[in-house]
Structure 1
Amino acid sequence: MSLLVSKFGGSSVASIEKITNVALRIKAMKDQGNDLVIVISAMGDTTDELVELALKTGERNNPREMDMLLSTGEQQSAALLALTLNALQCPAVSLTGWQAGIKTDGIHSKARISGIEPDRIQSEIEQDNVVVIAGFQGLSPEGNITTLGRGGSDTSAVALAASLGAERCLIFTDVNGVYTADPRIVKEASKLKQISYEEMLEMASLGAGVLQPRAAEFAMLYNVDIEVISSFNNEPGTIITEVGKMEKHRIVSGIAHDINVAKIALFDVPDQPGIAMTVFKLLADNKINVDMIIQGGVRSNRNDIAFTIEGDELNRALPLVNKVVEKIGASGMSYGKDVAKISIVGAGMQSNPGVAAAMFEALAEANINIHMISTSEIKVSCIVDEIDINKAVQVLHSKFHLDAID
């Protein structure tokens, strides 16, 4: 008998009819002799609707109460799914994140899982119940409800699979798997049979919305195999696993893009030790993640520094950056949200020279200007004008022949 952890996203449970279809699928898995732990997201647009309700109160800066509110969406869908399963004569029990023993740090709205005490889950499994757990949430050391950020149910599922020693973590979603590019932009995009942890982590971090980056990180750290699979058909999905288990390596596995990007530039920054620390520590202390960084050439003991952050963090970042400009004696700053990030990802890039040059050639031939470049062993990312992002995805997908990938 196998233990499987499965996660169903919000689009999979957006209505009672869809919840019933999910319940029938779970019952079929249970009837095959599997022990099941199900992690569930909020129904459809419930989280957005709860945010809108909160805004009507006039209070926008109380993260503790926002976590209390937003966590109810997953609790609602968990209870409804458990009720439906029981009506189908498939014994089930729903648990909140904290009832399931999920412990987090105390950072509201972006909490990280610090540990899991699975005793209650294991007890319910021993009673032959399907255990339905509200994703996206846990309990802080202070006893407060915390949420894990958008897509946090993915992280809940992978962390539970690691803690319970599950055979596999199934991520049920509204797509058939992981594609070489966004199929809405590239009609010829191919579904990947397999992708490595490292590639998936890069793809997720670079904007591919099929899996939350921290979920990919958990899977890699604890060697949890994931299958991304459709909630709406029975086609095989994409297996996310370690490189050694893959059939063969590809030079480039996929194209990722992200339009939630803002660029900030500081001018005439003093060229002396400690300046970069001053600039970026203030952002880090305020939980604003900096992505790409470029420092310009030195002139008269000064240079320019440009960097990118998430676009929806720009309003929070600007007052902090203005403080830094004044503190370090820079001459000024500029910012904009009219940029986007395009990336190529592939484990085979480590041993194949010329991949970055081919990327730059394709963008040049399409008359797409590059503002910033960042590389790692298995990815190359460029900042381009947002207006060019769809064209950039298409030309790179064609350049690396990803429509013909196995």
Structure 2
Amino acid sequence: MKDINIIKIGGSVLDRPEAFLEVAEKIVYRFKKPICLITSAMSGKTNELIKTFHQAVPDGDFWNYERFIGMGEIQAAILLEATFKGMNRKACAVLPWMREWPLFISLKKRPDGRGDDRRDFSILKKSIQQVDKYLRPLIKKNDVVIIPGFIVKNGKGRILTLGRGGSDISALLVGELLGVEEITLIKDVEGVMSADPRVHKRARSISQIDADQLGVIASSGAKVVNPISLKHRDSIKRMKVLSVGSDDSKAGTEISFGKEISIIPSRTVFSVLTFIGQRIPETPGILSEISKILAKKGVSIHSITISDNLIAIYVEDAVADESYQILAPLLEKIENLKVLNMKKKIGKVVVRSLKFINEPGIIRRITTPIAKQSINIWEILTVHTDVMVFVEYGDLKRATRIIRGVFEGGRV
């Protein structure tokens, strides 16, 4: 059933009761049936439920808390079913107490009781069975099937939630279980934007990006999609972000997914120039001075690290000596810089995966086997989806083979 339209409706779109009819009309106009909707709660509803529970029951138990804070999604699903039926469409909301409920997980560790915490879980085989036995037939019989996001059940049938932004996770899980190639996110913006439109008025929608770029955008704070949800994508090939207010089917942003994990050794040999000093983060203009000097000579900075007492600048090995010479005068110009060192012939391997986002233990999985082979890691940097490992260039091939062995078959 790859022709199913999996559509996730964001809570910011459902900002008032009248929005339900507006959203339903847009969906019927834009998409052919069959349609499977995953809905968030109305805007602000989950925060209201969390606050209400804690005020009413300061020491409330975990299971009642989980049942209560997902009520917003249930309300939204019921309202959407009623709305579509009012439009003479065959619609069905699949609610957690119904036999057709599709999402069952095993929670690896019980959270501390906040609705916004991260949930570490595995999907149960029962989900596959439920989808095949109940959800697929329901979708065939109806124009629209609505599933409340955020909510799941465990193997014993008790209600759990997926943490803040869990409706995005629900959409990915349902899409994977149904075997679709694309899911659509309905938002209150035109797509993935070049900047925050509330701050930069000339922000524009980006028509196409790849999943790696989306992972960085999402994990750096942009409210496009819950970055943790991207960890649960396996076979879905595309994701579309559309504005609820747009009538143009070609508008929005299309996100394409590639490899689950990429291991990329650099062919470039690097040198690292390290300024050692004091109070470096409190020294205004220090990065500007360094970059201006290097830019005048056409030298690119490939990576940079700052701590309280050092700045490490990675440049190509071929221009290292010249770079050292033109940067050395900064020792006299900037009082907080004391020493400039140079280390040559450094190699870099980048390990990239959406599954690295907010994932504990990835660094250890990389560094431990490398250390066991007596390879010294010069530096390791992490930025959202990327882990960059710097080693002696002579050790780069060995280090790359070891890392490939750790993530063999693309399994993270």
Both proteins in one fold, TM over 0.5:
yes
CA contact (8 A) 1:8 1:231 kept: no
What is the CA distance between 1:157 and its match in structure 2? Answer: 0.7
Aligned pair partner of 1:354 in 301, 306, 310: 301
RMSD: 3.4
SS at match of 2:13: helix
Cα 1:192/1:377, change in 2 over 3 Å: same
Q: Which amino acid aligns with 1:176?
A: E
CA contact (8 A) 1:161 1:224 kept: no
SS at match of 1:375: strand
CA contact (8 A) 1:168 1:225 kept: yes
Cα 1:353/1:156, change in 2 over 3 Å: farther
Q: Percent identity?
A: 27
Cα 1:127/1:187, change in 2 over 3 Å: same
SS at match of 2:175: helix
Q: Deviations over 1:236-262 (max 9, x none)?
A: 111111359xxxxxxxxxxxxxxxxxx
Q: Partners in 2 of 1:27 and 1:190 — Cα distance?
A: 27
Q: Partners in 2 of 1:64 and 1:205 — Cα distance?
A: 29
SS at match of 1:105: strand
Q: Partners in 2 of 1:25 and 1:356 — Cα distance?
A: 46
Structure 2 residue aligned with 1:155: 169
Structure 2 residue aligned with 1:41: 40
SS at match of 1:6: strand
Q: Which amino acid aligns with 1:93?
A: C
Cα 1:353/1:102, change in 2 over 3 Å: farther
* 1:10 and 2:17 are equivalent in the alignment: no
Q: How do 1:183-332 and structure 2 match up within 5 A?
A: 183-219=197-233, 221-235=234-248, 236-243=251-258
Q: Which runs of 5+ in 1 are unaligned?
A: 245-296, 298-351, 362-372, 382-406
CA contact (8 A) 1:102 1:113 kept: no
* 1:105 and 2:52 are equivalent in the alignment: no
Cα 1:58/1:16, change in 2 over 3 Å: closer
Q: Partners in 2 of 1:358 and 1:53 — Cα distance?
A: 45
What is the CA distance between 1:144 and its match in structure 2? Answer: 1.4
Q: Which amino acid aligns with 2:204?
A: S
The 4+ residue runs of structure 1 with deviation greater than 4 A are 357-361, 376-381
Structure 2 residue aligned with 1:348: none
Q: Deviations over 1:30-62 (max 9, x none)?
A: 5x4x31100011112111111121122142453
Who wins on radius of gyration, i.e. which is larger?
A: 2
Q: Deviations over 1:157-181 (max 9, x none)?
A: 1111111122420000111111233
| Worse-matched range after superposition: 72-81 or 197-206 | 197-206
Q: What TM-score results when the alignment is normalised by the length of structure 1?
A: 0.58
Cα 1:377/1:57, change in 2 over 3 Å: closer
What is the CA distance between 1:376 and its match in structure 2? Answer: 4.6
Q: Partners in 2 of 1:69 and 1:105 — Cα distance?
A: 20
SS at match of 2:37: strand
SS at match of 2:104: strand
Structure 1 residue aligned with 2:155: 141
Cα 1:126/1:58, change in 2 over 3 Å: closer
Q: Which runs of 5+ in 2 are unaligned?
A: 260-275, 277-298, 313-379, 389-412
SS at match of 2:172: helix
Aligned length: 264
Q: Partners in 2 of 1:154 and 1:231 — Cα distance?
A: 17
| Worse-matched range after superposition: 58-67 or 45-54 | 58-67
CA contact (8 A) 2:54 2:60 kept: no
SS at match of 1:223: coil
Cα 1:376/1:70, change in 2 over 3 Å: closer
Structure 2 residue aligned with 1:80: 79
Cα 1:209/1:377, change in 2 over 3 Å: closer
Q: Partners in 2 of 1:230 and 1:100 — Cα distance?
A: 29
